[in-house]
Amino acid sequence: MDALGGLATGFAVILTPGNLYLCFLGSLIGTLVGVLPGVGPLAALALLLPVTFTLSPVGGMVMLASIFYGAMYGGSTTSILLNIPGEAASVVTCIDGHQMARQGRAGAALGIAAIGSFIAGTLGVVVMTFFAPLIAAVAIRFGPPENFGLMVLGLVCTLFMISGSTIKGVLMIALGFLSAAVGIDVVNGRERFTFGSVDLSGGIELLAVVIGLFGVAEVLSNVETMTKNTLVAERIRGLWPTLADWRASWMAILRGSGLGFLLGLVPGGGPVTASFVSYALERRMSRHPERFGKGAIEGVAGPESANNAAVAGSIIPVLSLGIPGNPVTALLLGALIIQGIQPGPLFMTQRPDLFWGIVASMYVGNVFLLLLNLPLVGLWAQLLRIPYRVLFPLVLLLSVVGTYSANKNVFDLWVMLAFGVAGYVLRKLEYDLAPFVIAFVLAPLLEQSLRQSLVMSPDGAMILVQRPVTALLLAASAVLVALMFRRKARIEGGS
């Protein structure tokens, strides 16, 4: 069935009171869950999975999917207001978003995040509507060499994110690699850097790291200079993005949408990677990269759009092929399986009502989320007027629960504390923390894909050149690195 016919079917399915209600409910829950620091779509989906047993397959899936992308809307809220990532895909939003909040521009940041998310989410679904089978056929061919090429490109983008001293940035990236190595080596099952500890054998939990480095470290920084009446933002200057903001952001939103969608498609990609790479891209493309880190609105618009587009991208492999690319889509797949449905190449033709119903629900869900989030902007901005001395204990409490929600392991709280103190100290010494986090996220995938590729290949490393997509990605990375050095040389030569 062609795309428009399918959409018609889908809308017929979704535009019933029951399904609309579930879509709205999922959007609401997703937003809420995104706002809560640490608790992300994965936790929410896992916890709400039993509820879907009592619903029809369409209803259940619509609700779960809307929670997924709803969380991408809500995740930016605490990132912007309190510098605590709502969930891992909103970490980069902290960097410039919170600075904007401190300057009283939380409203603009929140508004751009919501609208950018809407545009990106909708664009993503449009592409999904018309090109899903084609895209799926291409995505399935992505094997370890292609993944490696992509991860290298992502890592090179990380180099662009280094503000300040390059040496310190590279050191942070290397530390990210080291930290990611703690745990079980996927390729041969051996334990690395665990020193006999069972807790460490699971690796260091990403959520504990980001909540510590960004949330707790921020609290420590603020607490150092606070007084009885400190507020996060002294004055709220306007609640909506200005025209200047729009001019700055619209390209970022479009680029973020495209980038996010593509990165969402790839296994191991998804909203988290998409947000990082988008931020790096925006810095690279900006005429004034020094504005980043001080409240550049593109640093909010790009990543927030990217993580929403990535949701659409990551759902395509699940629905078209039955292949989950990240833990959240794995859970969506599990939900379908529990309902007795096995998505796969035949899913679209065997259950058009379900497939197109989900697609149509994504259009509707994005609209719901825009309508939900925009009016809340004013409300959230008021949150910043609570005296900090009352706010920060609450922030810490939420940080603890959010971190604990990842693995239900108290050990993660120690990790959070350790990274919180480390982050505080490192910030004082002018180390940029974002490269560490990106390297920490990308390193396992990069290492795994390279080693898998080398094992697979009869010619050793030549496989990286023999496969066209991989060669292309690696060449692009090399070009970017060269460009970066040329730029640095020019800047340093000129000053």
Partner 1 sequence: MFERILNAFWVLLGAAAASYAWTLGVVGPAGPESGLFPLIAALIVMAAGIVLLLRPADGALAPDFPRGAALGRILGVIAGLLVMAIGIPYLGFAVTGAVTMIILLRTVEQTNWGASIALALVSVLVVTWLFGHVLGMVLPRGPWGW
Partner 2 sequence: MTRIAVACALAAALMAVPAAAQGDPKAELAKLKPKDFPSQPIEYTVVYPAGGGMDVTARLLAKFVEKWSGDKIIVNNRSGGAGMVGHSYLATQAKPDGHTVGVLASLVWGDAMLRAQARWSLNDLEPIGYLNSDALTWVRQTEGPYKDMSLQQIVQAAKDKPGTIRVATVPGSMWDYIVEQIEAASGAKFLRVPFQGGGAGITALVGGNVDVAQGFYSEFRGHLDGAKVAPLAVAAAARMDFLKDMPTFNEALGGNEYLWQVVRYAVVPRGTPADRKAYLGAQVQTAMKDPELIAEYKKQGVYFDPKLATSTKLADDLATYIEAERQFYVKTGRLK
Q: Within positions 265 to 284, which residues make up the interface with partner 2, using CB under 8 A?
A: 267
Contact with partner 1 (CB under 8 A): which of 349, 382, 393, 487? 393
**Residue 50 or 375 having the CB closest to partner 2:** 50
**Residue 124 or 322 having the CB closest to partner 2:** 322
Residue 56 binds partner 2, judged by CB under 8 A: no
Count of residues in contact with partner 1, rule CB under 8 A: 63
Q: Which does 202 bind (CB under 5 to 8 A by kind): partner 2, partner 1, none?
A: partner 2
For residues 40 and 429, what is the distance between their CA atoms, to the nearest angstrom? Answer: 31
**String marking each residue 344-383 x if it binds partner 1 according to CB under 8 A:** ----------------------------------------
Least separation, in Å, of the C-beta of 46 and partner 2?
A: 4
Contact with partner 1 (CB under 8 A): which of 2, 17, 167, 198? 167
**String marking each residue 395-434 x if it binds partner 1 according to CB under 8 A:** -xxx-xx--xx--x-x--xx-xx--xx--xx--xxx----
> Of 76-84, 115-123, 288-296, 336-344, which part binds partner 2 (CB under 8 A)?
336-344
Q: Which residues bind partner 1 (CB under 8 A)?
A: 33, 36, 39, 43-44, 47-48, 167-168, 170-171, 174-175, 177-178, 181, 185, 187-188, 190, 192-193, 216, 219-220, 223-228, 389-390, 392-394, 396-398, 400-401, 404-405, 408, 410, 413-414, 416-417, 420-421, 424-425, 428-430, 443, 447, 450-451, 454-455, 460
Q: Which residues bind partner 2 (CB under 8 A)?
A: 25, 29, 42, 45-46, 48-51, 53-54, 140-144, 183-184, 186-190, 196, 198-199, 201-203, 205, 267, 321-324, 327, 330-335, 337-338, 340, 342-347, 407-409, 448, 451-452, 455-456, 458
